[in-house]
Amino acid sequence: MGQAKTFTEAELKQLLTFIATQPHAARNRAMVLMTFWAGLRVGELAQLRYGDAFDAQHQARAEIRLDPAITKGRHARTVFVAQKLRVELKRYAKTHPSRDPSHCLFPTQKHPQRGFTPNTCAQHFLTLYRRAGIGNASSHSGRRTFITHLANKGVSVRVLASLAGHRSIATTQRYIDVNDDMKRRAVELI
Per the structure, the count of domains in the chain is 1
Residue 125: what pLDDT? 97
Contacts of 63 (CB under 8 A, 6+ apart): 78, 79, 80, 81
| 98 within domain boundaries | yes
Q: Give percent above pLDDT 90 in the chain.
A: 68
Question: Domain for residue 71, yes or no?
Answer: yes
Residue 103 lies in a domain: yes
- Whether residue 189 has pLDDT greater than 90: no
Asked if the model's pLDDT at residue 19 lies above 80, the reply is yes
Look at residue 176 in the predicted model and tell me its pLDDT: 83
pLDDT of residue 89 exceeding 90: yes
Give the Cα separation of 144 and 52 in Å (integer).
Answer: 23
Helix (H) or strand (E) holding 64: strand 63-66
pLDDT above 90 (res 20): yes
67 lies in a domain? Answer: yes
| Average pLDDT taken over every residue of the chain | 92
Mean pLDDT of 86-109: 92
136 φψ region: left (φ > 0), alpha (ψ -120 to 50), beta (else)? left
Residue 27 maps to a domain: yes
Mean of pLDDT values over 172-183: 80
- In a domain, residue 2? The reply is no
- pLDDT bin (cut points 50, 70, 90) of residue 55 is very high
Of residues 182 and 3, which shows the higher confidence score? 3
Residues above pLDDT 70, as percent of the chain: 99
List the single range of 17-21, 63-67, 80-84, 183-187 with lowest mean pLDDT: 183-187
Environment class of residue 95 by beta-carbon count within 10 Å: exposed (0-12), middle (13-18) or buried (19+)? exposed
Measured on CA atoms in the order 152, 157, 163, 167, is the torsion positive or negative?
positive
Cα(163)–Cα(81) distance, integer angstroms = 11
For the chain, the straight-line distance linking the first and the last C-alpha, in angstroms and rounded, comes to 37
- Are 70 and 172 a contacting pair, CB within 8 Å? no
> Tens of pLDDT along 110-150?
877 788 999 999 999 999 999 999 999 999 999 999 999 99
Where residue 71 sits, what CATH number does that domain have?
1.10.443.10
41 located within any domain: yes
Of residues 126 and 154, the one with the higher pLDDT is 126
- Domain range holding 99? 23-117
CB 26 within 8 Å of CB 91: yes
Q: For residue 162, is pLDDT > 60?
A: yes
pLDDT tens-digit readout, 42-52: 999 999 999 99
In a domain, 28, yes or no: yes
Exposed e or buried b per residue across 35-47, where buried means at least 16 C-beta atoms within 10 angstroms of its C-beta: bbbbbbbbbbbbb
The arithmetic mean of pLDDT across residues 166-187, rounded, is: 82
Q: Kindly state the helix (H) or strand (E) to which residue 63 belongs, with its residue range.
A: strand 63-66
Split at pLDDT 50, 70, 90, the class of 1 is low
What is the separation of C-alpha 178 from the centre of its chain, rounded to a whole number of angstroms? 20
